[in-house]
Amino acid sequence: MYSEKVMDHFINPRNVGEIENPDGVGEVGNARCGDIMKVFLKIENDVIVDVKFKTFGCGAAIATSSMSTELIKGKTIDEALAVTNKTVAESLDGLPPVKMHCSVLAEEAIKAAIEDYRKKQREK
């Protein structure tokens, strides 16, 4: 049911963990629904120099978390904001229809983390 790429990112997820003193944090989803993704960003000169995630969820939730962090690592904020759930799903060679919401979660978590970063910037 899952592509080889999904399984690869599920078995060996990239960028798992947390960043101490992150420049932006985004958390979306809730435990009741069965998935939560939390993204930590380290940003220098509008470039995402490091990204980590923690996810509570199914195989697809973990794989989309992993893939989405790979897609935005080293990218500018604007480039990261251009990453959509479709990009994440396509990079994983597709997701089963019932799991597309997992890729939405990944996109939303990244957007939330960037929003958090911008808010902090404005407060500075």
Partner 1 sequence: MGDRIYLDHAATTYTKPEVLEEMLPYFTENYGNPSSVHSFGREARKAMDLARERTARALHTDPGNIFFTGSGTEADNWAVKGAALANRKKGNHIITTSIEHHAVLHTCRYLERNGFEVTYLAVDKYGLVDAEQVRNAITDQTILISVMTANNEIGTIQPIREIGTIAKEKGILFHTDAVQAIGSVPIDVEEMNIDLLSLSAHKFYGPKGIGALYMRKGVKVQQILHGGAQERNRRAGTENLPAIVGLGKAIELAVQDIPGHNARLEALRDRLITGILSTVEHTRLNGHPERRLPGNVNFSFEFIEGEALLLSLDIKGIAGSSGSACTSGSLDPSHVLLAIGLPHEIAHGSLRLTLGENNTEEEVDYVLEVLPQVVQKLREMSPLFNQQKGGLEYV
Active site residue 58: no
**What is the number of other CB atoms lying within 10 angstroms of the CB of residue 106?**
31
Q: What whole-number distance in Å separates Cα of residue 67 and Cα of residue 62?
A: 9
Q: What whole-number distance in Å separates Cα of residue 28 and Cα of residue 107?
A: 10
Q: Is 57 in the site for partner 1 (CB under 8 A)?
A: yes
List Cα–Cα distances, 72 to 65, 69, 98, 117, in angstroms.
Answer: 11, 5, 25, 15
Binding partner 1 (rule: CB under 8 A), the pick from 43, 61, 110, 114 is 61
Based on CB atoms, which residue is closest to partner 1, 11 or 49?
Answer: 11
Options 95, 102, 109, 112, the catalytic residue: 102
Q: Is 27 in the site for partner 1 (CB under 8 A)?
A: yes
Contacts to partner 1 by CB under 8 A: 2, 7, 10-11, 13, 16, 27, 31-38, 54-62, 98
- Active site amino acids: 33, 102
